Amino acid sequence: MVGSLSGPGLNSATPYWAKSWKRSPNVWSGPTAALLVLNYKAILLPLGAAGAHTVGQARCTNFRSRIYNDTNINSTYAASLKSTCPQSGDDNNTAPLKPNNYTSFDNDYYGNLLVEKGLLHSDQEIYNGGGTSPLVTIYAENSTRFFEDFGESMIKMGNISPLTGSSGQIRSNCRVVNSASAI
């Protein structure tokens, strides 16, 4: 997917999104090119894997704060979710992760982010003007590219060796490192 970026220009193995950047040829050689390749490989795993949110639902307790407090959410979409998820209570009510056909595995998840219809705060953050926004746009426009990168992300995640013994821990709450007394 990513080849050598040495030389005065781009080669056929240059990442798709990098080809669209308007840069001078000298950017694609030396340390800058190495950083771009490292950044591409670093964001490919989590961003491609985020596409798994194209299928499924989330509990109200996981998106309530987004629909009542965030400003980067489509107002019509937020209003429709408020009928399912009131400001308090009904924590177990659910909403689709993708408002249009949440049972189909496709690249619509990324298209929804382009129009501020990410259900979870963390999802919308990947298309919020930061470094991952160009790749979100590519995935929204190119389903083949999304499927290829998603597959590569899943393979990479499958190759992650879990920490065992004293090097790792099974968390009581996945969001919080266990306290010393819980270990």
Q: Name the binding residues for heme b.
A: 53
Looking at the domain assignment, is residue 5 inside a domain? no
Provide the total of helices (H) and of strands (E) in the chain, helices listed first: 8, 2
Same-domain pairing of 48 and 98: no
Q: Name the binding residues.
A: 53-54, 106
Same-domain pairing of 21 and 109: no
Q: Under 8 Å CB-to-CB from 147, ≥6 apart: which residues?
A: 107
Residues 35-58, mean pLDDT to the nearest whole number: 58
Which of 50-54, 80-84, 129-133 is predicted with the least confidence, judged by mean pLDDT?
Answer: 50-54
The 3-state DSSP class for residue 58 equals strand
Same-domain pairing of 62 and 150: yes
- The backbone region for 56, taken as left when phi is positive above 0, alpha when psi lies in -120 to 50, beta otherwise, is left
pLDDT digits (tens, 9 = 90+) for 97-139: 888 777 778 888 889 999 999 999 988 988 888 777 888 888 8
CA-CA distance, 28 to 7, in Å (whole number)?
Answer: 7
Looking at the domain assignment, is residue 24 inside a domain? yes
Tokens representing 15 are: 């990442």
Cross-strand pairs, 2: none
Cross-strand pairs, 94: 59
Same-domain pairing of 45 and 91: no
Same-domain pairing of 45 and 93: no
pLDDT-based confidence at residue 28 (cuts at 50, 70, 90): very low
What is the total count of domains within the chain? Answer: 2
Residue 170: per-residue pLDDT: 77
Q: Name the binding residues for Ca(2+).
A: 54, 106
Residue 103: per-residue pLDDT: 76
What range defines the domain where residue 75 resides?
A: 53-158
Same-domain pairing of 69 and 151: yes
